[in-house]
Amino acid sequence: MIASRMKNLHPYVPGEQPKDRDYIKLNANENPYPPSPLVSKTVAKAAKKYAAKMALYPDPDSNELKAAIADMLNKTGGVLCRTELKGGKKSGSGAACTPSATDKIPFSVTPDMIYCGNGSDEVLSFVFYAFFDGDRPLVLPNFTYSFYPVYAGFYNVPLDQVPLKADWTLDKEKMLSDANAHDTSIIFANPNAPTGIALSRDEVRKMIQAAPKDRVFVVDEAYVDFGGESCIPLLAEFSNLVIVRTFSKSLCGAGMRLGYVVASPELVNHITTVKNSLNHFPIDFLSQQGGIAACKDAGYYAHCAKLVAVERDRFCDFLRERGWFVIPSQTNFIFVKKDGVRAEETYRKIKQAGILVRHFSTPGIEEFLRITIGTHEQMNELKRVMDNL
Ligand SMILES: *Cc1c(COP(=O)(O)O)cnc(C)c1O
């Protein structure tokens, strides 16, 4: 009854979403802040004034959303945390947002360089389908985003998982020599997950220069807005670079399911071909409207990203003062452990106190907890709970 390909499937296990009580959720790297008020207003208006549109198919290629994303990237330099904010209200909403000098993109991102999909998880799956062959091992770090091996199973792509170095950074040399030995692609998250460590743009540039030119090089920038450097400026130098981004983390939109690729128009066309062979209309009308509105209020999201980064650094200090080992993070989460502390037990005790954090039982990282950074109040509550343990 069941197709034999099903034996290759090893589904991803997301952070738990229990309903038994009102937990403080610090386990799925969601943003603790709601979307910009402009998003709520726009979606409500779309649902009411343009209700008839919900009876029709949405724009299959999200053209207006692509244009809005391109515009936001050009105005922010593709990263929110270091932008300059001007004007706006106290919430940051409506504030103009200009890139810092180092983040300015040296060309104009155009809509034909954007592919939009139903969350970056779907976008990633199409990237796997379009660019990774079954005849050579895809190079990626171990550890990185744990959905990549899931897709590799789904699409029958063999993996070459290169262990992280002792300091939890990527083993760039080994990844590059393996990629060149097999003429194959490389994928990783930058900043990486679950470590939170980022490579600088210059480090990624050197990697792409040394990697196979005829294979796609994929950088997943899900967390870049919290302190990393975007590789979007490198698209001027490399036609094989594919950058994957999401609205789920820094754009407070995990429930809207929006992700996108920034790459050359040629590579975007290939991903579109996959989409049109599998799911013609990946983004519904309301999410397209919400996404367009979000892109118009980058100032609000920059404000939120800065709040998260400040809270992260405070919480890291708190843990270090108490003897925890904290990997320096450029993201909205931290990866921490402490000698003599059993991570799984600590996770359970914190849960009993009403806060969810993430524990992976994966060998090699089973001593760590991954803690998403929430609001100031949420982190104060976690501090209180941890001091009582
Ligand atoms: C959260 C995350 C994603 C998935 O984002 P969605 O857009 O919600 O599907 C992709 N890559 C990494 C590294 C992530 O952490």
Q: How far is CA 218 from the centre of its chain?
A: 13
pLDDT digits (tens, 9 = 90+) for 19-61: 888 999 999 999 999 999 999 999 999 999 999 999 999 999 9
Is the pLDDT at 212 greater than 60? The verdict is yes
CA of 145 to the centre of ligand 1 (A): 8
Structural contact between residues 225 and 81, judged by C-beta atoms closer than 8 angstroms: yes
| pLDDT at residue 283, rounded to an integer | 98
Structure tokens, 241: 């670079």
Is the pLDDT at 91 greater than 60? The verdict is no
> Which residue CA neighbors atom 5 of ligand 1 most closely?
120
Provide, rounded to the nearest whole percent, the portion of the chain with pLDDT above 90: 90
- C-alpha span between 73 and 31 (Å, rounded): 20
| pLDDT at residue 343, rounded to an integer | 97
pLDDT digits (tens, 9 = 90+) for 141-177: 999 999 999 999 999 999 999 999 999 999 999 999 9
- C-alpha span between 347 and 159 (Å, rounded): 31
Q: Is 301 exposed, middle or buried (0-12, 13-18, 19+ CB in 10 A)?
A: buried
Substitution candidate for ligand 1 out of 12, 27, 121 with most atoms within 8 A of CB? 121
Structure tokens, 186: 């490389």
Nearest CA to 377 among 101, 55, 32?
32
Higher-confidence residue of 7 and 173: namely 173
Structural contact between residues 249 and 31, judged by C-beta atoms closer than 8 angstroms: yes
Q: Tell me the C-alpha to C-alpha distance, in Å, between residue 35 and each of 49, 92, 96.
A: 21, 12, 17
Nearest CA to 128 among 352, 253, 278, 280?
278
Q: Is the peptide bond before 111 cis (omega within 30 degrees of 0)?
A: no
N-term to C-term CA, the chain? 50
> Which residue CA neighbors atom 15 of ligand 1 most closely?
222
Q: What is the pTM of this model?
A: 0.97
Provide, rounded to the nearest whole percent, the portion of the chain with pLDDT above 70: 99
Split at pLDDT 50, 70, 90, the class of 18 is: confident
| pLDDT at residue 92, rounded to an integer | 64
Backbone angles phi, psi at 144, to 5 degrees: -155, -165
Structural contact between residues 359 and 344, judged by C-beta atoms closer than 8 angstroms: yes
Higher-confidence residue of 86 and 221: namely 221
CA of 48 to the centre of ligand 1 (A): 31
Please give the mean pLDDT across all residues of the chain.
96
Sign of CA dihedral 333, 339, 343, 348: negative
CA of 120 to the centre of ligand 1 (A): 6
Looking up tokens 């294979």, which residue turns up?
A: 215
221: Cβ below 6 Å to ligand 1? no
CA of 322 to the centre of ligand 1 (A): 31
Determine the number of helices (DSSP H) and then strands (DSSP E) in the chain: 11, 14
Split at pLDDT 50, 70, 90, the class of 133 is: very high
Nearest CA to 249 among 81, 10, 71, 41?
81
> Which residue CA neighbors atom 2 of ligand 1 most closely?
222
Looking up tokens 């979403």, which residue turns up?
A: 17
Substitution candidate for ligand 1 out of 246, 283, 334, 360 with most atoms within 8 A of CB? 246
Is the pLDDT at 298 greater than 70? The verdict is yes
Residues pairing with 219 in the sheet: 188, 243
31: Cβ below 6 Å to ligand 1? no
Q: Is 108 exposed, middle or buried (0-12, 13-18, 19+ CB in 10 A)?
A: exposed
Q: Is 207 helix (H, G, I), strand (E, B) or coil?
A: helix
| pLDDT at residue 350, rounded to an integer | 97
| pLDDT at residue 389, rounded to an integer | 87
- C-alpha span between 96 and 370 (Å, rounded): 33
Amino acid at 259: G
Is the pLDDT at 90 greater than 70? The verdict is no
Amino acid at 331: T
Looking up tokens 């997950």, which residue turns up?
A: 193
Split at pLDDT 50, 70, 90, the class of 89 is: low
Structure tokens, 85: 């904010």
35: Cβ below 6 Å to ligand 1? no
Give the number of other CB atoms < 10 A from CB of residue 354: 13
> Which residue CA neighbors atom 12 of ligand 1 most closely?
222
Residues 6+ apart with CB under 8 A from 3: none
- C-alpha span between 225 and 83 (Å, rounded): 10
C-alpha dihedral (133, 137, 142, 144), degrees to nearest 10? -10
Q: Per DSSP, which regions of the chain are E strands? A: 24-25, 84-86, 96-98, 114-117, 138-142, 159-163, 186-189, 217-220, 241-246, 259-262, 325-326, 333-337, 355-356, 369-372
pLDDT digits (tens, 9 = 90+) for 187-197: 999 999 999 99
144: Cα within 13 Å, side-chain hemisphere = 31
- C-alpha span between 126 and 129 (Å, rounded): 5
Split at pLDDT 50, 70, 90, the class of 88 is: low
> Which residue CA neighbors atom 14 of ligand 1 most closely?
222
| pLDDT at residue 131, rounded to an integer | 98
Residues pairing with 115 in the sheet: 261
